[in-house]
Amino acid sequence: MFLREGTLSPSAMVYDVVVVGGGPAGLTAGIYARTRSLSTLILEAQEMGGQLSWLYPTKSVYDYPSYIAIEGGELGQLFTLHARESGAEMLSGEVVDVQRSGGAFVLRTRDGRSFEARAIILALGMGLFAPKRLDVPGEAEFEGGGVTYNAKDRREFKDKRVLIVGGGDSALEFALEIVAAAKSVVLVHRRGEFRAMEKNVEAVRKAPIQVMFNAELTSIEGDERVRRAVVYDNRTLKKSVLDVDAIIINIGFEPKITPLPKWGIALEGERLIKVKMDMSTSVPGIYACGDIVSYPGKDKRIVTACGEAVTAVMSVYKYLKAPYWA
Ligand code: NAP
- Kindly give the number of the ligand 1 atom that is closest to the alpha carbon of 251: 7
Binned average pLDDT, 10 residues per bin, the chain of 326 residues: 45 89 98 98 95 87 95 97 98 95 93 97 86 96 92 86 96 94 97 97 98 98 97 97 97 82 89 95 97 95 97 98 93
- The C-alpha atoms of residue 65 and residue 303 are separated, in whole angstroms, by 8
- Global confidence as pTM: 0.75
Q: How far apart are the first and last CA of the chain?
A: 26
| Residue of 139, 251, 298, 306 to mutate, ligand 1, most atoms within 8 A of C-beta | 251
How far does CA 258 lie from the centroid of its chain? 14
Q: Which residues contact 31 (CB under 8 A, 6 or more apart)?
A: 82, 83, 86, 88
Q: What is the pLDDT of residues 30-86, one digit of tens each?
A: 999 999 999 999 999 989 999 899 888 888 899 999 999 999 999 999 999 999 999
Cβ density class 268-302: b for 16+ within 10 Å, e for less: eeebbbbbeeebbbebebbbbbbbbbbeeeeeeeb
Q: What is the pLDDT of residues 10-27, one digit of tens each?
A: 456 899 999 999 999 999
The predicted pLDDT at position 17 comes to 98
Residues belonging to the chain: 326
Q: 201 near 191, Cβ under 8 Å? A: no
**Ligand 1: which residue has its CA nearest to atom 13?**
251
Ligand 1 proximity of 192 Cβ (cutoff 6 Å): no
- The C-alpha atoms of residue 287 and residue 281 are separated, in whole angstroms, by 5
The per-residue DSSP string of 17-70 comes to: EEEE--SHHHHHHHHHHHHTT--EEEEESS-TTTHHHHT-TTSEE--STT-SSE
Which parts of 132-285 fold into alpha helices (H)? 169-178, 198-206
Ligand 1 proximity of 252 Cβ (cutoff 6 Å): yes
State the distance from the centre of ligand 1 to the C-alpha of 195, rounded, in angstroms: 7
| Residue of 300, 301, 302, 304 to mutate, ligand 1, most atoms within 8 A of C-beta | 300
The predicted pLDDT at position 126 comes to 80
State the distance from the centre of ligand 1 to the C-alpha of 166, rounded, in angstroms: 7
- The C-alpha atoms of residue 232 and residue 224 are separated, in whole angstroms, by 24
State the distance from the centre of ligand 1 to the C-alpha of 126, rounded, in angstroms: 13
The predicted pLDDT at position 102 comes to 86
